[in-house]
């Protein structure tokens, strides 16, 4: 009978340890988010600080990542200086791009294991496809270098835990134009 009680006690302790780990992680995420929200609220104070750099290296909480990247990329200012540029270049690329075939080929092999990009011609893959297409019209002299950098970077991230972050940031960035 003692063996059964010991096994039950060990299982109970194991359950408690697992729950404690989850709760500790949840508290850590809440703390990180509140620090980021404070930083966003006082952006002028923090925007060129080492504290900002340190926090970016530690990671941006998923639920405010879009907000933070919008501020980091200075999207409101970029939008006001370049209204509708992305949309115009995207439409121009759809009509005139001489690189559309290569972009399509590169897209089909990029991040195929990431849930956002698994479906060929799916919504997220289409969004990602239009970014280099638009850029190839926006900056025709550097398009090959840009495309190489983006697809090379995305392919290097395939087997890491941070898959798709580059692509997802680009998609987020492009939506603000």
Q: What is the CATH number of the domain that holds 110?
A: 1.10.8
Residue of higher predicted confidence among 130 and 159: 130
- Determine how many CB atoms are found less than 10 A away from the CB of residue 167: 25
58 and 131 part of one domain: no
Looking at the predicted structure, is the pLDDT value of residue 89 above 80? yes
Confirm if 62 and 106 have CB atoms less than 8 A apart.
Answer: no
Helix (H) or strand (E) holding 80: helix 75-81
Q: Return the SS3 of 36.
A: helix
Give domain status of residue 71, yes or no: no
Give domain status of residue 70, yes or no: no
Confirm if 99 and 107 have CB atoms less than 8 A apart.
Answer: no
- Per-residue pLDDT, averaged over 52-60, amounts to 89
171 and 89 part of one domain: yes
- Determine how many CB atoms are found less than 10 A away from the CB of residue 144: 12
Calculate the dihedral angle through the C-alpha atoms of 73, 106, 110, 118, rounding to the nearest 10 degrees: 110
DSSP state, residue 50 = H
Give me the pLDDT at residue 157, please: 52
Number of domains in the chain: 2
38 and 98 part of one domain: no
Residue of higher predicted confidence among 132 and 41: 41
Calculate the dihedral angle through the C-alpha atoms of 110, 94, 143, 76, rounding to the nearest 10 degrees: -90
Give me the pLDDT at residue 177, please: 44
52 and 82 part of one domain: no
Looking at the predicted structure, is the pLDDT value of residue 80 above 60? yes
Give domain status of residue 69, yes or no: no
Contacts of 140 (CB under 8 A, 6+ apart): none
Calculate the dihedral angle through the C-alpha atoms of 16, 33, 131, 120, rounding to the nearest 10 degrees: 20
Single out the residue of 160, 153, 156 nearest to residue 170, CA to CA: 153
**What's the pTM value of the predicted model, to 2 decimals?**
0.53
90 and 157 part of one domain: yes
Give me the pLDDT at residue 163, please: 41
Range of the domain at 58: 2-64
Give me the pLDDT at residue 150, please: 62
Confirm if 93 and 130 have CB atoms less than 8 A apart.
Answer: yes
45 and 93 part of one domain: no
């Amino acid at each position: 009978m003692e063996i059964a009680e010991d096994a039950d006690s060990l299982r109970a302790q194991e359950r408690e340890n697992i729950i404690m780990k989850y709760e500790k992680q949840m508290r850590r995420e809440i703390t990180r988010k509140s620090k980021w929200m404070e930083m966003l609220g006082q952006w002028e104070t923090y925007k060129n600080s080492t504290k900002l750099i340190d926090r970016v290296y530690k990671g941006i909480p998923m639920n405010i990542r879009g907000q933070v990247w919008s501020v980091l990329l200075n999207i409101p200012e970029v939008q006001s200086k370049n209204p509708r540029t992305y949309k115009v270049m995207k439409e121009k690329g759809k009509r005139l791009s001489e690189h559309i075939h290569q972009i399509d080929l590169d897209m089909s092999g990029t991040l195929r294991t990431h849930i956002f990009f698994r479906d060929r011609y799916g919504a997220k893959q289409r969004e990602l496809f239009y970014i280099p297409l638009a850029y190839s019209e926006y900056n025709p002299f550097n398009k090959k270098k840009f495309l190489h950098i983006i697809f090379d970077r995305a392919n290097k991230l395939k087997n890491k835990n941070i898959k798709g972050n580059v692509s997802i940031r680009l998609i987020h960035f492009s939506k603000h134009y």
